[in-house]
Each structure stands twice: as C-alpha cells, then as structure tokens.
Amino acid sequence: MMDVRQLSPFISVSPQLAPADVGLAASMGFKAIIGNRPERESEDQPANDEIRAACERHGLAWHYLPVVSGRIEDPDVAAFRALMNEVRGPVLAFCRTGTRSATLWALSEAPRLDAEAILRATATAGYDLGAQRERIQALAGEGGAPLQVAGKRHDVLIVGGGAGGQSVASSLLKRQPDLDIAIVEPRTEHYYQPGWTLVGGGVFERRETVRPMAEVMPKGVKWYQAAAAAFRPEQQLLVLEDGECLGYRILVVAPGLQLDWDAIAGLRETLGQNGVTSNYLFDLAPYTWSWCRTPARTAPSSPSRRCRSSAPVRRRRRCTGLRPLETTAAAGRSRG
C-alpha cells in the first residue's frame, strides 16, 4: 500500500515503493520517480531495476540518486537540486521511510525558501526534520539557487495585484503573518473598479478610483513590478517579461479579465460618442455621467422633422445593466 506524502505540489515522498506501485503513481499524475535508497540496503528491498522497468512501462521518468542514511553530503544536496531543476513533475521520491527524500528536498530548497516554512511543510507530511534546522538555516541565502532562478523562490507567488491578488495576499498574511508572499504586477496604479459605477453616477470623481500601487500593496508582500510572461509549472517557476524566473510553492493567478469590445461589430468605434458608454472603462465612466446629467432632449433626427417643430424631442436612452439605469434615474429625479 503506497503512503504518499506531499511536500509541495511539485514533489511528494514515500517509503519504499514496490514495482506494482508505479502504475498507481502514474494514475495519480506523477511524471517521475526518484529512488534515493541505495541498492540492497535490506533483504526485502525490491531491485531498483524492477522499479525502473515499471516506470518505463507506465511512461514515468526514473532517476536514481542514492544517499546513505544519516550521511547526506553537500554534493548529494547539489545533485538533488540540479535534478529538481530539470525533471518534469510532479515527482515522487522514495527511500526506506521517505525521510532521506524529504531531507534532500528540505536542504535543496534551503537557499530559496524560508527555513521555518520548509520545516512546517516536512512536519505536516509527517517528517520531523528539526535536527536539520541549523543546517537548513546555514544554507539560507547561499548561492545555491539554480541557474534558471535569478530571483527568489516564494511560499506564495501571486500574478496580478488587482483586487483579487491583493485580497488573497492580505487574507493569507492575516492567518499566517510569516508567509513569504510576492505579487507580480506591472502597473504603478491600482484601480478601484467598482468605483467607476459611482463615477458614472456622478458620486465619485474618476481620480478617486486610482491610487499608487505601492500604497495599496499589503505590508510584508514583495512586489515585482513586471508582467508574467510564461508559466513553467513542471519546475514551479514563473517567467517574467524580462526572462527572469521566480520560484514558488503555491502559485495564485489573478490577472483579471480582458474585455472583448470587438465581439460586437462597430462597438469600439462608437464607444464614447452618440450616448454609447460603459462604466467598465476607466476613461469612459465620466462620459456616462455627462450623458446621464444632460437633459433628455435632443435635436430631431431628420431635417424635415426639425422644420416641422422646434419643440424638444424626447430621445430614448438604452441602459443595459441595472446600476447605470438606476443612476440615470436618480440623476433625473434629482433634477426634478
């Protein structure tokens, strides 16, 4: 019976695997298996060749990186880290109990992740690595980061510093203030989008809905002012527009929506004129209000009609959406 324990979405560890477990590991989504137990440590240990053959049958990559119990040396850690950077995950690593695999992961992540976060992750998985605390702390900040990771790794990396991204960061920090959280957001301004309804309704000025991004970033969050360009989930890496890579344990993606104005023929050309407007655009919300407060009268639509009468002609306004309708109605009422 397999006993798989997750350390991060990228890597899990387990006690000794049997060749028959490999199919199940494949069905659980693992893409690679790492054997950290040297051959013939005990009588009842299956041969690694059998596990390798099972991996081949089930389409998993097999990597053999044996370490002796209680003697994990720096070159072992460096080799494990290099493997983590090239292997396609999720990965399942095993030894006799899983402790050596968990220790290798903890030490290889030490230059990039917070020591306490590593110890918490391993403890949650059932491995008490408290005895490794000093070694993990000593590795912190060492130049052990892989070539791809020019920046840091973070416990939580958030793409998008809008309402969603910032709320997630604040909420997580409220529950766990020592979390290492970073937000990737290219804008220097933060927009309070619901406020645009109030701009369209004449209650807010447009400038009241914009604030400097630096002012609204939750305290304690690292802000990368850049756009995310690509995801490399197999390696738990995010690529920024300038090619820099950031590592993460958990990735949150909140880049917002892109409105497709061209989905309605002619809409883009007429937005902002002829009474066609939308509060969903920062630039147009003031036009909504200017339209709402203009008396509901207009010139007749044809010259012949204009000749017939000089009286104002009521024009119908079309509102899709309840709030613009209500603000228009409120504006009308306030004018009597």
Ligand X SMILES: Cc1cc2nc3c(=O)[nH]c(=O)nc-3n(C[C@H](O)[C@H](O)[C@H](O)COP(=O)(O)OP(=O)(O)OC[C@H]3O[C@@H](n4cnc5c(N)ncnc54)[C@H](O)[C@@H]3O)c2cc1C
Interface positions with ligand X (CB under 6 A): 159-165, 184-187, 193-194, 196-197, 227-228, 254-256, 279-280
Give 9 or 186: the residue with its C-beta nearer to ligand X. Answer: 186
Pairwise CA distance, residues 287 & 261, whole Å: 17
Do residues 147 and 140 touch, judged by C-beta distance below 8 A?
Answer: no
Least spacing, CB of residue 323 vs ligand X, in Å: 8
Which residue type is seen at 252? V
Q: How far is CA 14 from the centre of its chain?
A: 28
Our CB check for ligand X shows the closer of 144 and 160 to be: 160
Q: Nearest distance from residue 200's CB to ligand X, in Å? A: 7
CB of 319 to ligand X, least distance (A): 13
DSSP per-residue letters across 1-44: ----EESSSSEEEES---TTHHHHHHHTT--EEEE-SPTTSSTT
Closest CA to 122 of 103, 138, 146: 103
We find the least distance from the C-beta atom of residue 201 to ligand X, in angstroms, to be 10
Considering beta carbons, is residue 146 or 201 the nearer one to ligand X? 201
Question: What is the helix (H) or strand (E) element at residue 213, kind and residue range?
Answer: helix 213-216
Q: Which is nearer to ligand X, 65 or 163 (CB)?
A: 163
- Cα–Cα distance measured from residue 208 to residue 193, given in angstroms and rounded to the nearest whole number: 11
Q: In this complex, which beta carbon is closest to ligand X, that of residue 235 or of residue 277? A: 277
Q: Is the peptide bond before 19 cis (omega within 30 degrees of 0)?
A: no
For the bound state, the minimum distance from the C-beta of residue 264 to ligand X, rounded and expressed in Å, comes to 17
Of 21 and 185, the one with the shorter C-beta distance to ligand X is: 185
Question: Which residue, 16 or 279, has its beta carbon nearer to ligand X?
Answer: 279
Q: How does DSSP classify residue 288?
A: H
Structure tokens at 320: 């899709």
Q: How far is the CB of 207 from ligand X (least distance, A)?
A: 16
Nearer Cβ to ligand X (212/312): 212
Q: Give 279's contacts (C-beta < 8 A, 6+ positions apart).
A: 196, 197, 199, 200, 285, 288, 323, 324
Strands 245-253 and 153-159: parallel
Q: Which residues are CB-contacts of 273 (< 8 A; sequence separation ≥ 6)?
A: none
Other beta carbons less than 10 A from residue 97's beta carbon = 17
Distance from chain centroid for Cα 126: 27
Quote the least distance from Cβ 41 to ligand X, whole Å: 47
Residue nearest to ligand X (CB): 162
Report d(CA 186, CA 256) in Å as an integer: 13
Question: Considering the complex, what minimum distance in angstroms separates the CB of residue 235 from ligand X?
Answer: 19
